Amino acid sequence: MVRAALDESQTMEAGSAPSYRLQRWLLPVTIVILLLGIGGAAYLVRNWPFTEKNVVKQLQQATSSTVHISAFKRVFFPRPGCIAQGVTLERGTDPHGQVKLTVDKLIIEGTLTGLFSKHLASIRAQGAHAFFPEFGTAPQWKPATSDVVVDELIANSSLLEFARRDPKSPKVQFAIDEFVAHHLASHDPMKFEVRLHNPTPPGEVRATGTFGPWNMDRVSATPVSGDYSFSNADLGVFDGVHGILASNGQFHGTIENIAVNGATSTPAFQVKGSTHQIPLDTNFGAIVDSNNGDVTLQQVQARVLHTIVVSHGSVAGRPGEHGKITSLDMSVRSGRIQDLLLLFVSEKHSPLNGIVSLKTKVIVPPGNRHFLQKLRMAGDFGIDSALFTKEETQGKLEKLSEAARGQADQTDDPESIVSDLQGHVVVRDGIATFKDLRFRVPGARAHLEGTFDLITQKVNLRGLLFMDANLPKATTGIKSFLLKAVDPFLKKNRHGGARIPISITGTYQHPSYNADPV
């Protein structure tokens, strides 16, 4: 019995050794944890980031603005953070050049580990409304470095407004349906996704890309890049045209100079006054200056049916003038004149078919006048193997050609009666003024000058007809007999034919031709 008691006592001592060692270490470990907890709590109390004072300080430092908050609430669970209501940020003292941002509710959320690493999980801006003065008038701003990293910034249902030069004009508004930015840090680029409503032309824009890091020495040199899509853009807001445009492409560069390369498609493009809806597709490269909103079009290649129109120019403001002026240099090589004319006529078919080449300068100033009244154009054109499709017009040319060759009683195949056109045109205030307008039909050539009213379609062209045949041979009956007497006194061209005045008057729909000198 005594031996059994000794064995039991030894077993109990052996089993209690680990428990004793654990108890020996448990107390100091607990003390250390308590000390760390107390120290961490003291640190957080002293350096708690989510106080109104600290939030105001951080916002002012990041935006160089004066910050006001109407109501503030700290949040501890489930995540540490805060809620600020009625937030206002103002930069600049001039009321006409002040940048202002208001936010109904600003929700800032952190994490427990982020409390020590200055890391924020998210910032959500609800009801954000930003106002910017006219391009180029905002106060200078330089970003400040910050050691705080924001994982995600969300600003859905926001509004951006830009003032115009004329204070009576309505502001330009961009309604932002969705905006999300990822990884906001001073020395790293952030990623973003945005979906917004474009004001003019109205349509939806989606873009994804990267922005930054900030160029501390020159803010305008901060890099930006990404992809965009523009859908359901209604061109009807522009006076004189109709159609729904879609576009997509890429952009890259800096804030001050953003290069955009893309394509547009308008399946049913229509010019006011025309009954034709024609597919219009373009490829373009452009530079956007965000300092003033000016756009430099490096090259635009537009396809109208089977014809390519190449242009370059700008949409930019000029000193002393209000609004943007569109200035384009346009050219066509071996295109089809019927493709271009269908944009402007109401008839089923183009009034003229042929191969066209042209080079022209186009300027469209700002203003509320009709597009054709604003349009300014000057250039040269040439149409080879032109054929008038209107039977009445082509018939006049056929008779003119027959008379010119002294074959008034013969009938020619209409397809062989063509008129090659070339000349110089200047368009201003809705009037096209032609100089050195020339055309040829078999047996004659004409040299005309005059005007065509683009709005009323009145024609007033006058000039000379140089005939290959002598004038008496080009007429019959009593006219021929009488003209034989004066034929020696008629001026001859270098081909030996008669030189007589002609005119084309009336309207485009009902032209009147006069080529009879007697």
Q: Indicate the pTM of the whole model.
A: 0.74
Separation between Cα atoms, residue 320 and residue 376, nearest integer Å: 19
Does 46 score more than 60 pLDDT?
A: no
Residues 6+ apart with CB under 8 A from 378: 360, 361, 424, 425, 426, 427
pLDDT of residue 184: 84
Encode pLDDT of 262-319 as tens digits.
999 999 999 877 888 999 999 999 998 877 778 899 989 999 999 999 999 998 877 7
Contact at 8 Å (CB) between 429 and 373?
Answer: yes
Percent of the chain scoring above 90 in pLDDT = 31
Separation between Cα atoms, residue 362 and residue 342, nearest integer Å: 19
Beta bridge partners of 162: 132, 172
Does 501 score more than 50 pLDDT?
A: yes
User: How does 311-333 read in b/e, with b if 16+ C-beta sit within 10 Å?
Assistant: bbbbbebeeeeeebbbbbebebe
Predicted confidence band of residue 111 (pLDDT cuts 50, 70, 90): confident
Mean pLDDT of 336-352: 81
Does 110 score more than 80 pLDDT?
A: yes
Contact at 8 Å (CB) between 113 and 31?
Answer: no
Mean pLDDT of 350-374: 84
Predicted confidence band of residue 515 (pLDDT cuts 50, 70, 90): low
Does an H or E element contain 244, and which? strand 244-254
pLDDT of residue 456: 83
Predicted confidence band of residue 467 (pLDDT cuts 50, 70, 90): confident
pLDDT of residue 472: 59
Mean pLDDT of 182-195: 89
Higher-confidence position of 518 and 372: 372
Mean pLDDT of 168-173: 81
Predicted confidence band of residue 11 (pLDDT cuts 50, 70, 90): very low
Does an H or E element contain 61, and which? helix 52-63
Q: How far is CA 460 from CA 26, 88, 510, 511, in A?
A: 109, 64, 12, 10
For the ranges 90-94, 258-262, 362-366, which has the lowest average pLDDT?
90-94
- Max mean pLDDT range (25-29, 181-185, 311-315, 364-368): 311-315
Does 45 score more than 70 pLDDT?
A: no
- Max mean pLDDT range (91-100, 190-199, 436-445): 190-199
Percent of the chain scoring above 70 in pLDDT = 73
Does 357 score more than 80 pLDDT?
A: yes
Does 225 score more than 90 pLDDT?
A: yes
For residue 63, give the nearest of 126, 138, 118 by alpha carbon. 138
Encode pLDDT of 154-169 as tens digits.
999 999 888 877 777 7
Beta strands in 389-498 (DSSP E): 420-428, 431-441, 444-453, 459-467
Mean pLDDT score across all residues of the chain: 78
Q: How far is CA 292 from CA 86, 91, 289, 318, in A?
A: 31, 19, 6, 11
